[in-house]
Amino acid sequence: MALEEVSGQDLNWFFNQWYYKSGHPILEVKYDYDEANKKALMTVSQVQEGDNIPRVYDLPFAVDIYMADGQKPIRQNVRLRQRTETFAFDAPTKPKLVDFDGDRSLLAIKTDGHSEEEFMFMLKNASRYLARIEALEALKTSDNPTANDLLKSALTDKFWAVREEAVQNVKYKNDPSVLDIVAKIASTDSRSTTRAAALSKLASTKDTKWASVYRSVLEKEQAYPVISSAMQALYKVDAPAAIEVAKKFENDDNSDLVSGVGSIYAENPKPEHISFFEKNLTKVDGMGSINFVGSYLKVLDKTNVTDMVAKMTNLRDIAVNQAQSPWRRFCLHKSYFSTRAKRTQALAGDLKKNAQTKF
């Protein structure tokens, strides 16, 4: 009632579809141009199905119509109130792009019928960073040289999330200069997660050329996720040096660093590494705890420990301890049961094999 009083609108439609019902819109969007009537056409279909899910959502949204490179789009505010509806917009020529939900505000899953050329235009011209990321996702598998050039240009986008997406998806095999830009990002980008993504991209090449970049980052970097990424990247080209770096961080309390050390030890598992993992099982948290526990189980598996039952019991005890963080309990609980299932399956296989041999 308070929202209705402030807005002066009847909001029954809003609460009926978003609060009292389940699900969310699933939309298919197609585009066309009516040359005879000079109209840009956009057809939106709602295809969601299911019990207690509205067949028709009432969806107000904005449409941005781009007529040429560099020009400000023409904005049209529309409202979808049918299962399938076609919207027509005045356009003297075929638009370069009709951008559905220009604000990217709809809580919906969308299948967009843009052509490759339209996605390239979107990446180059869209003002909303979510639209540019959407275009990057659509173009990442393209073999079009122009699309690849645009992905390369996105490495220097003004917004960090676009740069990060570009780092992860840009192709470099036909253009080695791409990796030079990625190396610069790894060292100088203003966003730590983007620097870390750039290091991971360089590491994926397994090229010793970038070892100096990793070492330079390790010398001056302050952000823990970036240090962890640089350490793991160095391992791919100079494992002994990376192991020495890892030893320096064994007693650190940061989950990203501890997880990074664990990843390196999992690649070179030794019995003496086990105490490092057990010391940190109740310290790591967040996403890093998932990788850390996975590394621990890998080390246990490869080193053939004799007290596996006791170690698995310890994992279970931490997992059921309500005082532990939800992240830690979740990943330990999952790891405990998946490992137990694998070992049970392996034991069953051994018993079957022995039985067949005996009889």
pLDDT in tens, 87-98: 999 999 999 999
- Does 24 map to a domain? no
Q: For position 19, what pLDDT does the model report? A: 78
Q: How far is CA 89 from CA 27, 79, 110, 131, in A?
A: 20, 14, 21, 21
Give the chain's domain count.
1
Asked if the structure places residue 327 within a domain, the reply is: yes
299 lies in some domain: yes
pLDDT at 114 over 70: yes
Residue 12 belongs to some domain of the structure: no
- Per the domain annotation, does 298 fall within a domain? yes
Q: Is residue 143 part of a domain?
A: no
For residue 341, give its domain range. Answer: 249-359
Residue 37 resides in a domain: no
Q: Tell me the mean pLDDT in the region 64-81.
A: 94
CA atoms within 13 A on the CB side of 4: 8
261 is a domain residue = yes
Residue 213 has pLDDT above 80, yes or no: yes
CA distance linking residue 41 with residue 34, whole number of Å:
7
Q: What is the pLDDT of residue 351?
A: 40
Among 5-9, 163-167, 176-180, 257-261, the range scoring the smallest mean pLDDT is 5-9
Q: Could you give the C-alpha distances from 165 to 130, 174, 175, 176, 357, in angstroms and in order?
A: 11, 19, 18, 19, 55
